[in-house]
Each structure stands twice: as C-alpha cells, then as structure tokens.
Amino acid sequence: MTEVVLVHGAWADASSWSGVVQPLRDDGFTVRAIANPLRSLSGDAAAVRAFLATLAGPIVLAGHSYGGAVITNAATGLPNVEALVYVNAFAPDAGQAATQLAGPESALSVDPTTIFDFVPAALPPTRETELYLKPETVFESFATGLDDDGKALVAATQRAATLGALNEPSGEPAWRTIPSWYLVGTEDRIIPPDAQQAMAKYAGAEVTEYAAGHVGLITHPGDVVQIIRRAAAGR
C-alpha cells in the first residue's frame, strides 16, 4: 500500500496536517507527518531523506510552504517516491532559494524587521538567527482563513525557521524525474498565487486551484486530501 509522508513548512509543526491525516488513513494509506528541523535546507532535506530511506513501499511525498523546498531536495534520486505534492509550496529549481521565489507581492518581501522577531535580537542577523513571525504578520497574512482564536494559536505555537534555511539555494530538483501535483491557494499572501503558478509550470505539475490562504491545509483539509488521493492514483 502507498505510504503518504507529509512535511510541514516554516512556523509550523507536523500538527498542521492534523485535518489531512485521518481521512487518508480512512482510505487505507499509511500516513506519517514528520518533523522538519527548519535549520538549513540541505540539512532538513537530509533528515527527511533519511526517514524516507526507512520505508519500503511506494511513497507520495507532500510538502507545505517551505516543506515544498525540502521535499524537492529530499526525494531526488529515490526510486520509491512515486509522486510529489506541493500545497501552497515552494518548488525551487537548482540554485533558487525560497525567499526569492515568494516574489515581490509576498507579505514576506518587505523590511524583515517589520514582520519577524529575531532570536537572538542582535542585528544584523546571521544564517543561524531564528525567525518568528510577528503576531500581526500571522493575523494579517500567514493564517488568513482562520478565526481570531485560530490565528492566535498559530502565533503562539509557531516553530522558528533560521534565516539561512529560507535563503539557501536548492539542489537538483526531484520534480525533474518524479511526477508532481500542485495545489495553488488563490488567497495566499505569503506565496502569492502567481508565484505558485509559475513554480508549478516549470516543475511540470498538475495544477489545482482552491480558494484558500497560506494555511489551506488547516482551513481546507478536504482539498488537500483530494489532491493527495489523485497523486497516489497517478491522475
């Protein structure tokens, strides 16, 4: 039976897939939502790749947001990964970094001191500096589609990503040899839909749009489940 492996993005953890896991399990899939370290793109991809190497069966590998960049690198050359699924995600080509792919219309494409809290707070930041989204960024741009209590929960429980991880150039992309599917959130303010469409096009992905913001995996889990089902069926 196909195994589904879910990789979360920055400022999130594996619980962001909670609404997706049970419907897929009900379909008979073995599902694992695994930890993404959020330390460096190459290191994060190596950690995911090491997990994938423990699985024997065919794999559908899905990534949300920065998790898309991670799966793009983690799956390269792995014969048992049969499909890639991008959910409001970065799908970089070799040499591209996540931040540059967000594009000028992204809420992230502003003075970083206005949207992030730096840890440590010393400026200028280094590659190891951890970035937390300011609460107003979560409420206005990142977690749109949730009510205020949901947004507050996202803001309170976010996991920091390092500056280096978000700016590290990608390696050879797995989508060159692995079929891919892309779920474009038309209300996304972090990775605007035009940027998502552009990445999906050069990755040769099958594209589906849904009326969701950046955390569509939380607000619209049924749409995410559907595209993973399609990827598993190869259609």
Separation of alpha carbons 203 and 185, rounded Å: 17
* Domain spans of the chain, in order of start: 3-101+168-233, 104-163
Q: For 103-172, where are the alpha helices, taking DSSP H only?
A: 135-137, 148-157, 163-167
- Mean pLDDT (the chain, rounded): 97
Burial string for 43-59 (b: 16+ CB within 10 Å, else e) reads: bbbebbbeebeeeeeeb
Residue 235: its pLDDT value, please? 74
* pLDDT tens digits for range 133-154: 999 999 999 999 999 999 999 9
pTM: 0.97
> What one-letter code names the amino acid at 175?
W
Which architecture characterizes domain 3-101+168-233 according to CATH? 3-Layer(aba) Sandwich (3.40)
* pLDDT tens digits for range 173-196: 999 999 999 999 999 999 999 999
* pLDDT tens digits for range 9-58: 999 999 999 999 999 999 999 999 999 999 999 999 999 999 999 999 89
